[in-house]
Amino acid sequence: MRVRRARPEDAPAIETLYKMLVVDDENIRVDPARIRALEQHVGSHLFVLETDSGVRGTAFLTICLDAMYGFRPYGVVENIVVETSMRRAGGGRELLGAIEQVARAESCTKLMLLSSAARVDAHRFFSRLGFDGKKKRGFVK
C-alpha cells in the first residue's frame, strides 16, 4: 500500500469513494480535468491510497495562506474516505501521515478537518492520530 498524488485517470475510483462517503448525493462527479488542474495548483494536494488492486482511499489537503503567524499557512483536510476493508489495515493512517508530512514541509501552524457529526468511528480514529475534536467547533453553511 502506498500514498501518492492523484492523477486524472484516478477520477472514477475517487468518485466511487466519494459516493461511499456521502451516500445519496447525486451531484458527486469527479472530472479528470479537475484533477489535472489540482495537480498544477500549488496549495492543493489530492492524495490516493493505492494497493495492487487499485485506489482504495483518498484525502484532500488545502494549504491556506494566513496572516496570523507571519508567512506560515495552515492546512485544511477534507473528503477523507478509505474503503472499509482498508480501515483496520492502516490505510487511513497512511493517508493522514502523507498529509501531515506535506503540512510540516509547508510549515503549517495547524491542520483542521471537518467530519460529519454521525461518523463517530472516524472521530475516534482522528483522535488517535492527534486531532482534538474538543478544542474548537466547526460550522458549515
Domain count, the chain: 1
Domain assignment present for 138: no
What cell was used for 4?
501518492
Domain assignment present for 133: no
pLDDT score, position 123: 87
- Domain of residue 112, CATH code: 3.40.630.30
Domain assignment present for 79: yes
pLDDT-derived band of residue 13, with 50, 70 and 90 as boundaries?
very high
For residue 35, report the phi and psi dihedrals to the nearest 5 degrees.
-65, -40
pLDDT score, position 76: 96
**Structural domain of residue 6, as residue ranges?**
2-128
pTM: 0.91
A 10 A CB-CB count for 10 gives: 21
Checking 97-100 for CB contacts under 8 A at 24+ apart, the result is 97/3, 98/3, 98/47, 98/59, 99/45, 99/47, 99/59, 99/61, 99/75
Domain assignment present for 136: no
CA–CA distance, 124 with 133 (Å, rounded to integer): 9
